[in-house]
């Protein structure tokens, strides 16, 4: 039995389900290929408003499938080739134009945590568990994944996670900014639905621009005149006219993504 | 009735009051021009020790005055011209040489929040409300304002604020670093006075250098020898001699800003 | 009586003790030279797994020894020469290849806090006190030290610390990320021992790479192909084979640092 990932669509929300039964959705090569295909599919569909990433069977993912290490990652060259598959998938997830939400329950560790960090928002249950204990396996986290962690958690938390190698609970994950919020163990569906509704109530082009702009301002290079001009294009959209008119009319806007 | 901003001076503290009666101090063009003039006035006065920014009538500011959108921001070109007025004002506020404190009560949203983020410190009452729900208007936050938000709140909180578009309370704003501290609804005057006193007890040139140095280290470019040499100029000031002698004499120093 | 620093070794953990009796370990020139020598000694010893930095007599350090200001830092030139000694020492501490832990009890202020921030992790007792009240001495924090503070605490907290000049407690220090965790006043030895054990259970080469990688990703310049290739070298180590085999055998790995 190998891992895989499936896409299920419900109205304008697509859910990507990680699945590796009996292994808590540990990432093996088939699951990476499945996730890459799923991300490509949702990226290509402009009608979506939200993409959710979650795991089947009460787990997000405990990380890499260690049983593959001897066969797939036994030399630096093979480890790098495998790493490039992982990083291309996570980069595609991070660059997905739609807002992405990781819904975390149970273990969310190692490369599983990195995948969650490639999403825009992260909601977890109280019983969820986090960490990157790769130094116990004798290896370091690769630079692109470590950058995902650093960009979210900052210097102090990143060093703590990697040097101590602990697996820890939701409160510390929240303090470290690894998750946006914690819900009761039986509250994930309700909060996830409410979050998707809030996101879907915004204009979809605004969400795309906001994602692109957050990437841009992470670079300290000064903003060019062309970049600043570009960020006012939203004022030429139909959705802008709908938005302020609905506000002035005290009604809910209906955005069409154009 | 249009918005405006007034400066009131009390000893070495200047307070900039936002005012747009009946609109909770929503920002219209006259209020932007008023704020720009007020910031220019306090910047030009070297005798000040602290600048406070606050709103009249139990509100900070709920953001832009939407009733202007049809007339002032109906095309990308006009929206950009309006944006340049806003951004020049916020840049001048961020670059004000004196320490700046936003005293927040009630709504502090959208461009109102951006103005608060251009200040150095932010104190809020428990009943204050925060958010940037511009995607509900069909627009994105412009890059310079989004950068103010990102520099304070980081990647995870910025994406949450912009993609979900919620209006939220003081505790979440504090967790996201949007405010330095929360006070009881009737405790703002006392905490603001204590904060201004603490700031005014420091040497004013040290405050100016600290503000300039924080801007500098946000850029990861290596520090030059000239920049490092410059940061020891404080040891040539009269206030330095006063400072360590007062410390050794166990008395309060009297700084003169030279 | 002048300050000094001593190294005591216990198995694969080296502890650097700051000591300036009667002055709560305030930093004078001899203590800087002592710390520089201690950092050089532990850096040169590849058999170490963890380096702890702490102060004797129930204090970490309240900062600079002010009694030296008149003799050693009375001009910008002499202050800079002194600053270069401090910064070279803190840079060597930050670049130490071994994981470093500051164990904080009592005052940890000014340049004492900067030294703690040059370590990878920081644990403090509840009674610990933090702050950088240098503006009360009429001076600014030098750029390299301010960068240590900014990289850990970010823009909002750095401005608060420097402009208000308060000395504050452990909870605020924790909120600002200045410390990783707070323990009861009598709980420091136990937590420090547990932390050192957790760090020492990881592969030492992984720790070195993780420290170097965190430094690298703080720079937003894109990762080069050579840098990415380098980060897979760990898959060629003996410790990697030991690590995953131990995991699959459900036993504890024994890492040898090669």
pLDDT average, residue stretch A176-181? 98
Residue B100 to residue B195: CA distance in whole angstroms: 11
* Of the partner residues A202, A218, A223, the one whose CB lies closest to the CB of residue B165: A202
How many angstroms separate the CA of residue B72 from the nearest CA in chain C?
33
List the single residue in A with minimal CA-CA distance to C220: A219
pLDDT in 10s for each residue of chain B, 258 residues: 689 999 999 999 999 999 999 999 999 999 999 999 999 999 999 999 999 999 999 999 999 998 898 889 999 999 999 999 999 999 999 999 999 999 999 999 999 999 999 999 999 999 999 999 999 999 999 999 999 999 999 999 999 999 999 999 999 999 999 999 999 999 999 999 999 999 999 999 999 999 999 999 998 889 999 999 999 999 999 999 999 999 999 999 999 999
- Do residue A140 and residue C180 have CB atoms under 8 angstroms apart? no
- Do residue C135 and residue B203 have CB atoms under 8 angstroms apart? yes
Is the minimum CB–CB distance between C252 and chain B shorter than 8 Å?
A: no
Residue B252 to residue B254: CA distance in whole angstroms: 7
How many angstroms separate the CA of residue B59 from the nearest CA in chain A?
20
Sequence-ordered list of residues with C-beta below 8 angstroms from that of A129, at least 6 positions apart, any chain: A106, A107, A108, A109, A167, A168, A169
Q: Is C124 helix (H, G, I), strand (E, B) or coil?
A: strand
Structure tokens at C81: 């020469």
List the single residue in C with minimal CA-CA distance to A84: C228
pLDDT at C220 over 90: no
What confidence score (pLDDT) does residue A27 get? 97
C122, β-bridge pairs: C102
CA dihedral (B34, B81, B121, C157) in degrees, to 10, reads -170
Cβ contacts (< 8 Å) between A231 and chain B: which residues? 140, 142-143
The CATH homologous superfamily to which domain B4-200 belongs is: 2-enoyl-CoA Hydratase; Chain A, domain 1 (3.90.226.10)
Q: What angle do CA B81, B113, B85 make, to 5 degrees?
A: 15
Cβ contacts (< 8 Å) between A194 and chain B: which residues? none
pLDDT average, residue stretch C175-197? 98
**Residue that has been written with the tokens 């020139």 in this structure:** C29
Q: Is B104 helix (H, G, I), strand (E, B) or coil?
A: strand
Mutate to test the interface with B, among A231, A249, A250, A256 (most CBs of B within 10 A): A231
- Do residue C214 and residue A134 have CB atoms under 8 angstroms apart? no
Structure tokens at C82: 């002194």
- Do residue C214 and residue A140 have CB atoms under 8 angstroms apart? no
pLDDT average, residue stretch A32-59? 97
What confidence score (pLDDT) does residue C157 get? 98
Name the pLDDT band for A212 (thresholds 50, 70, 90): very high
Is the minimum CB–CB distance between C163 and chain B shorter than 8 Å?
A: yes
- Count Cβ atoms below 10 Å from residue B242 Cβ, excluding itself: 17
Q: ipTM for the complex?
A: 0.97
DSSP assignment string, B130-181: EE--GGGGT-PPPHHHHHHHHHHHHHHHHHHHHHH---B-HHHHHHTTS-SE
pLDDT average, residue stretch C78-89? 96
Sequence-ordered list of residues with C-beta below 8 angstroms from that of C242, at least 6 positions apart, any chain: A138, C253, C254, C255, C256
Residue B98 to residue B208: CA distance in whole angstroms: 6
How many angstroms separate the CA of residue C66 from the nearest CA in chain B?
7
- Residue C6 phi/psi, 5° resolution? -125, 150
How many angstroms separate the CA of residue A257 from the nearest CA in chain C?
32
- Do residue B202 and residue C136 have CB atoms under 8 angstroms apart? yes
Burial bucket for residue A151 (CB in 10 Å: 0-12, 13-18, 19+): middle
List the single residue in B with minimal CA-CA distance to C136: B202
Sequence-ordered list of residues with C-beta below 8 angstroms from that of B95, at least 6 positions apart, any chain: B43
- Do residue B156 and residue A180 have CB atoms under 8 angstroms apart? yes
Structure tokens at B131: 């958010």
CA dihedral (C173, C179, C185, C191) in degrees, to 10, reads 160
| pLDDT tens figures, C230-244 | 999 999 999 999 999
- Do residue B159 and residue A241 have CB atoms under 8 angstroms apart? no
pLDDT at C24 over 70: yes
Q: What angle do CA C157, C163, C169 make, to 5 degrees?
A: 55
Is the minimum CB–CB distance between A40 and chain B shorter than 8 Å?
A: no
Structure tokens at B255: 């700084």
| pLDDT tens figures, C57-75 | 999 999 999 889 888 998 9
Is the minimum CB–CB distance between B71 and chain A shorter than 8 Å?
A: no
What are the extents of the domains in chain B? 4-200, 204-249
What confidence score (pLDDT) does residue A69 get? 87
Is the minimum CB–CB distance between A90 and chain C shorter than 8 Å?
A: no
- Do residue A137 and residue C247 have CB atoms under 8 angstroms apart? yes
Residue B253 to residue B240: CA distance in whole angstroms: 10
Is A145 within 8 Å of A176 (Cβ atoms)? Answer: no
How many interface pairs between A and C have CB atoms less than 8 angstroms apart?
A: 143
Is the minimum CB–CB distance between B150 and chain C shorter than 8 Å?
A: no
Is the minimum CB–CB distance between B243 and chain C shorter than 8 Å?
A: yes
Mutate to test the interface with C, among B201, B202, B208 (most CBs of C within 10 A): B202
Structure tokens at B80: 């950009």
Mutate to test the interface with A, among B137, B218, B221 (most CBs of A within 10 A): B137
What confidence score (pLDDT) does residue A20 get? 96
How many angstroms separate the CA of residue A246 from the nearest CA in chain C?
36
Is the minimum CB–CB distance between A70 and chain C shorter than 8 Å?
A: yes
- Do residue A135 and residue C210 have CB atoms under 8 angstroms apart? yes
Parallel, antiparallel, or unpaired for β B13-19 and B50-55?
parallel
**Burial profile B180-203: b = 16 or more Cβ within 10 angstroms, e = fewer:** bebbeeeebeebbeebbebbbbbb
Burial bucket for residue B144 (CB in 10 Å: 0-12, 13-18, 19+): buried
pLDDT average, residue stretch C178-206? 98
Is C8 within 8 Å of C14 (Cβ atoms)? Answer: yes
pLDDT at A110 over 80: yes
What confidence score (pLDDT) does residue A1 get? 63
Is the minimum CB–CB distance between C244 and chain A shorter than 8 Å?
A: yes
| pLDDT tens figures, C198-211 | 999 999 999 999 99
Query: What number of CA atoms fall less than 13 Å from residue C114's CA on the CB side?
Result: 26
- Do residue A213 and residue B141 have CB atoms under 8 angstroms apart? yes
């Amino acid at each position: 039995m190998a891992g895989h990932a499936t896409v299920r669509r419900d109205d304008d929300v697509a859910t990507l389900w990680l699945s590796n039964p009996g292994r808590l959705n540990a990432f093996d090569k088939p699951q990476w290929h499945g996730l890459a295909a799923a991300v490509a599919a949702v990226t290509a569909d402009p009608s979506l408003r939200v993409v959710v990433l979650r795991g089947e069977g009460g787990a997000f993912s405990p990380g890499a499938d260690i049983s593959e290490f001897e066969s797939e990652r036994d030399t630096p060259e093979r480890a790098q080739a495998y790493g490039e598959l992982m990083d291309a998938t996570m980069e595609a997830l991070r660059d997905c134009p739609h807002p992405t939400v990781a819904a975390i329950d149970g273990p969310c560790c190692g490369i599983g945590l990195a995948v969650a960090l490639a999403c825009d928002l992260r909601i977890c249950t109280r019983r969820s568990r986090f960490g990157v204990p790769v130094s116990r396996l004798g290896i370091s986290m690769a630079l692109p994944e470590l950058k995902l962690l650093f960009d979210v958690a900052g210097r102090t938390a990143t060093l703590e996670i990697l040097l101590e190698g602990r697996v820890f609970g939701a409160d510390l994950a929240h303090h470290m900014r690894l998750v946006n919020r914690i819900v009761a163990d039986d509250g994930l569906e309700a909060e996830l639905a409410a979050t998707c509704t809030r996101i879907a109530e915004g204009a979809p082009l605004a969400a795309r621009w906001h994602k692109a702009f957050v990437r841009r301002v992470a670079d300290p290079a000064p903003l060019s005149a062309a970049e600043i001009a570009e960020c006012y294009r939203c004022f030429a959209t139909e959705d802008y006219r709908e938005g302020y008119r609905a506000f002035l009319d005290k009604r809910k806007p209906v955005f069409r993504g154009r």
